[in-house]
Structure 1
Amino acid sequence: MKRFAELLDRLLLTPSRNGKLTLLVDYFTTVPDPERGLALAAITRDLSIASVKPAMLRALVEERIDPILFGYSYDYVGDLAETIALIWPTEASALDRRNDVPTLSEVVQTLDATSRAKAPAVMADWLDRLDASGRYALIKLATGGLRIGVSSRLAKQALADFGKVDVVEIEELWHGLTLPYLELFAWLEGHAPKPESLAAAPFRPVMLATAIEDGDLDKLDPADYAAEWKWDGIRVQATSERGVRRLYTRTGDDISGTFPDILEALDFEGAMDGELLVGHSPDLTAGKQGPVEIGTFGDLQQRLNRKAVTAKTMEAYPAFIRAYDLMQDGSEDLRAAPFRERRARLEAFVLGLDPTRFDISRLVEFTDWQQIVDFRTEPPHPIIEGLMLKRWDSPYVPGRPRGPWFKWKREPFTIDAVLMYAQRGHGKRSSFYSDYTFGVWKGDTPETGELVPVGKAYFGFTDDELKLIDKFVRDNTIDRYGPVRSVKATPEVGLVLEIAFEGLNRSARHKSGVAMRFPRISRLRWDKPAREADRLETLERMLD
């Protein structure tokens, strides 16, 4: 546990991607099996411990600490694991056992075999024996709440660097591996052959596009490229092989359990790349194919990140895939074929599928780049966020090669809003108010109207700007609601934030009736009086 705790501390305090990779490679090099494999599983969130829940930990610490004192401490620190790790009282008798620290494998094996009824006693014993850093690591491990700035993809890249192999090889093997990855590490260290992936319906690393930059179009021939709309859903890979059906995100996360309606329709052998959307099917007897009433990203979010989905939810938000590419057709791997050929195969492939669950992303006809500029500015559907350009002769190459595929998103929308509420962040931001709720004016005038919340944002500003906003929040707090501070926001006094966002949805859950897509703070408007912030009518016109 000591090395694992040290790794978490360093990853948390290391901002750079290369720095995190170096720390992970060093850990894999110096820590033996099975510890390193279990740490890897914890970081990639493939380790699940059912016997420990946050509510149980809170009850455990409140048996030893005054609940009011704990509440104030939690409010200040902003992170449950860090608060418990710092405030946990260690009895003198427990200090004699400080050298008797459990190993990572001991913790995992014990918790896997422990019931929820017995877990509090087991956790209390370990919390007594560990120091603050170890307690923090133990709680994060047990609850699966690691927030250390390391994605599953970054961890796989560290494995590739460790073994000096291509990360694509790691990704293609990943879903056929089992904890604690002994075969994987043996291969990466040169002690054993490459593991053979016997898993049916494996994840195949996706091909990504690069953003169009100034001057790119001047260097390209329009005749070399196909264009299609970039839809505002989530990129997925639908795979069906030997009776096994899987739905993956672009990063390889298995979301099959959340979309049983899609899984049921994977009546094919192959692997398809596309966009997951929600929409209602038309009357197929009218000769139309595929869903035509496409829901917003907010509608799609009603289906995402759920452990179970009800029949009522599936009926209200039916999911479908808008197909982009065909990676595998039966037993034939098409990734080396040019896009023109894959596209023709995809069109024939989709015709044989359930039209209420699959359709194809239509190509956009054009002859010159000015037409593409015009299409990007005025797309024909509000759920379109831009255009994709794909070379006709491009193979399907994992990663983000520059040149074969480009994405050109619409310019973001911007409004001026007023800061209303602030909450502490997590990790290195736990001492700052860095999560912000903002609103716009509703009513005839700011003096006679009110501010209504329209969104939340926690990025888009520099560290120096964060300190300035934090000071404004502390100097202008008018009320507290647990960890949230209400900030003074009147026509005369208020911090105006320029908010950039990708789109708007109608929302019955918000008082304003609208919800923003990907809001972020683009700049601080210290120069602008709060009374001059935008009005709700402005956003409603955008919706219309």
Structure 2
Amino acid sequence: MRAFADLLDRLIYTRSRNAKLALIGTYLRETPDPDRGWAIAALTGDLDLPAVKSAAIRALITERTDPVLFAMSRDFVGDTAETVALLWPEPPPGSVTDADPLTLDTVVTRLRSLSRSDAPRALAAMLDRLESDERFALLKLATGGLRVGVSARLAKTALAQAFGLDVDAVEEVWHGLAPPYTELFDWAEGRAEQPHAADLPVFRPFMLAHPLDDGVVDLADYAAEWKWDGIRVQLVHVGGETRLYSRAGDDITAAFPEVAAAFRTPGVLDGELLVRGQGQGDALHADDTGAASFNALQQRLGRKLVSKAMLADYPAFVRLYDILFDGAEDLRERPWHERRARLETFVPRLDPTTFDLSRLIDAADFAELANIRSRARDSAIEGVMLKRRDSPYVAGRRVGLWYKWKRDPLVADCVLMYAQRGSGKRSSFYSDYTFGCWTADPAQGGELLPVGKAYSGFTDAELKDLDRFVRQHTINRFGPVREVEKTLVFEVAFDSIHASKRHKSGVAMRFPRISRIRLDKPAAEADHIATLLKWVS
């Protein structure tokens, strides 16, 4: 655990991407199997220890220290694992020796073999043998929430660079392997050939787009299509199996069983997962092609079990963008216009109630396209995609190939109502802000109702000023949340707004972020909810 704890500690305090790559790479080269395999699984979010739950960890610490002290410390620190690691009683002198260290393999193998009732006792015994930073690493490992500023892609890139591999090749075989990735490291160190997953429904890295920042492209070279407001997915059917993957490479097949069941044609497709607009849930404002708002799709996301009522009320479908494989034929090196033609012949073979083709936008030139985009305020449209007609399908973002041109955000003036501590680097700051708008003129009895929550859009200097404002203007406390005086106005930018029965205000913002702090504006002059309702799709 010592080497893994040191790695996490250094990653937390390292901002540079290249420095993080170097730290992870050095660890992977110097650490033996299977410890390094478990470590990379933890960094990529692929390590699951279901027997350990946060509630059990809180119960363990309250048996060993004053519960009030723990609650106050947790509120100040902002992270359960860090608080427990610091408060846990130190091991008695001489009880821990270098001759009997805990390894990652020992920890993971033990915790994976235990039931939920037995795991807490074993975890406590391990914590008794460790120092505070090792306890922190163990608790983060056990709960699966590392939060050390390392994405799954960055960890895989570090592995690839450490052993001179192509990161896209690593991504290609990743989902065909399982922790602790012995075959992967055998390949990396030249003891075996590259693993292959030709007969497995594995994930292939998505091709991504750069933002189009005030640029102009020639539509003779680029095709334009709508950017739909769902979640990007990859459909894979091979060897009689179907898998549905998110953009991060997570297997979401179980959450959308009807989509997986309908895809039985061998191949790999790229598209946008959406919900039909005829359901009974809130904010199901369908556009002219049948897609509901993202707010409707959210009812389906993150569910391991989907009820029949959910399937009926929020029927999912995929709007297809691209084709990577047609059967066993790899089309990724073909230019976009050839892949589009193949996709147009592939789609008719699929169930039309579950799959359709993303239509291209017919515009004579860029000026006409800009005019079409400016009028796109449908609930399911996020903007426009521009794809170079001769572009291959390559992993990641390559300059000049694909661009995303999001529609301009909506803006409203809102009043800060509540603040909550952040997590990780922001655990000492009140950085999560809930804001509201007026039901009517406050001079005539109007009240503020929450319309959104944001934790981005401000600078580090502004964060310090906002944190100071929260501390100096608190009027009520609800656990980690503070209610503040209703005097500070935020200019909030958001992509769209939808009707919502779950919110007292009746509306829910999509991607809200703070674009400006309006010190010049009185709270009474902030926007009314009626103004927001005019934008509801």
TM interval, short-chain normalised: over 0.9
Q: Secondary structure at the match of 2:535?
A: helix
- The code of the aligned residue for 2:167 comes to V
d(CA) in 2 for partners of 1:351 and 1:27? 50
How far residue 193 of structure 1 moved from its aligned partner, in angstroms, is 2.3
1:279·1:295 contact (CA, 8 Å) conserved in 2? yes
Relative to structure 2, which stretch is displaced further, 531-540 or 189-198? 189-198
| 2:103 aligned residue | 103
1:137 aligns to 2:137 (yes or no): yes
d(CA) in 2 for partners of 1:500 and 1:528? 16
State the TM-score, normalizing by the size of structure 2. Answer: 0.95
d(CA) in 2 for partners of 1:195 and 1:51? 31
Identify which of 247, 250, 253 aligns with 2:247: 250
| 2:159 aligned residue | 159
| 1:396 aligned residue | 393
d(CA) in 1 for partners of 2:517 and 2:190? 53
Provide the alpha-carbon RMSD of the alignment.
1.8
d(CA) in 1 for partners of 2:212 and 2:69? 53
How far residue 281 of structure 1 moved from its aligned partner, in angstroms, is 6.8
Relative to structure 2, which stretch is displaced further, 464-473 or 200-209? 200-209
d(CA) in 1 for partners of 2:444 and 2:85? 47
Q: Secondary structure at the match of 2:45?
A: coil
How far residue 91 of structure 1 moved from its aligned partner, in angstroms, is 5.8
1:543 aligns to 2:536 (yes or no): yes
Matched ranges for 1:494-509 at <5 A: 494-509=487-502
d(CA) in 2 for partners of 1:390 and 1:281? 31
Matched ranges for 1:461-500 at <5 A: 461-489=458-486, 494-500=487-493
Same amino acid, percent of matched pairs: 56
- The code of the aligned residue for 2:79 comes to D
d(CA) in 1 for partners of 2:94 and 2:143? 25
How far residue 358 of structure 1 moved from its aligned partner, in angstroms, is 0.4
d(CA) in 2 for partners of 1:16 and 1:520? 25
d(CA) in 2 for partners of 1:63 and 1:307? 33
How far residue 320 of structure 1 moved from its aligned partner, in angstroms, is 0.4
Relative to structure 2, which stretch is displaced further, 333-342 or 49-58? 333-342
How far residue 456 of structure 1 moved from its aligned partner, in angstroms, is 0.7
1:530 aligns to 2:523 (yes or no): yes
How far residue 199 of structure 1 moved from its aligned partner, in angstroms, is 4.8
1:514 aligns to 2:515 (yes or no): no
Q: Secondary structure at the match of 1:25?
A: helix
Q: Secondary structure at the match of 2:476?
A: strand
1:127 aligns to 2:161 (yes or no): no
**1:107-157 CA-partner distances (Å, limit 9, x unpaired):** 001111222222222111111221111111111111112212211111111
| 2:257 aligned residue | 260
Matched ranges for 1:186-201 at <5 A: 186-201=186-201
- The code of the aligned residue for 1:238 comes to L
Matched ranges for 1:420-499 at <5 A: 420-445=417-442, 448-489=445-486, 494-499=487-492
1:323·1:359 contact (CA, 8 Å) conserved in 2? yes
Matched ranges for 1:71-470 at <5 A: 71-90=71-90, 92=92, 96-97=95-96, 99=98, 100-214=100-214, 216-217=215-216, 220-280=217-277, 292-379=289-376, 381-445=378-442, 448-470=445-467
d(CA) in 2 for partners of 1:141 and 1:486? 34
d(CA) in 1 for partners of 2:20 and 2:384? 34
1:416·1:499 contact (CA, 8 Å) conserved in 2? yes
| 1:34 aligned residue | 34
- The code of the aligned residue for 1:359 comes to D
- The code of the aligned residue for 2:361 comes to V
Identify unmatched segments of 5+ residues in structure 2. 280-286
d(CA) in 2 for partners of 1:496 and 1:95? 58
**1:165-188 CA-partner distances (Å, limit 9, x unpaired):** 221111111111122112212222
Q: Secondary structure at the match of 2:431?
A: strand
**1:37-62 CA-partner distances (Å, limit 9, x unpaired):** 10001111111112211111111111
1:176·1:198 contact (CA, 8 Å) conserved in 2? no
d(CA) in 1 for partners of 2:162 and 2:431? 35
Q: Secondary structure at the match of 1:71?
A: helix
Pair 1:427–1:98, CA change in 2 (3 A): farther
1:176·1:199 contact (CA, 8 Å) conserved in 2? no
d(CA) in 2 for partners of 1:137 and 1:203? 29
**1:343-365 CA-partner distances (Å, limit 9, x unpaired):** 12211211121111100101111
Q: Secondary structure at the match of 1:276?
A: strand
d(CA) in 2 for partners of 1:19 and 1:519? 32
How far residue 380 of structure 1 moved from its aligned partner, in angstroms, is 6.5
How far residue 280 of structure 1 moved from its aligned partner, in angstroms, is 4.4
Relative to structure 2, which stretch is displaced further, 98-107 or 41-50? 98-107
1:43·1:146 contact (CA, 8 Å) conserved in 2? yes
Pair 1:268–1:281, CA change in 2 (3 A): farther
2:91·2:130 contact (CA, 8 Å) conserved in 1? no
- The code of the aligned residue for 2:496 comes to G
1:10 aligns to 2:10 (yes or no): yes
Q: Secondary structure at the match of 1:505?
A: strand
Identify unmatched segments of 5+ residues in structure 1. 283-289
d(CA) in 1 for partners of 2:8 and 2:296? 36
Q: Secondary structure at the match of 2:195?
A: coil
**1:353-392 CA-partner distances (Å, limit 9, x unpaired):** 1111100101111111111110110126331111111222
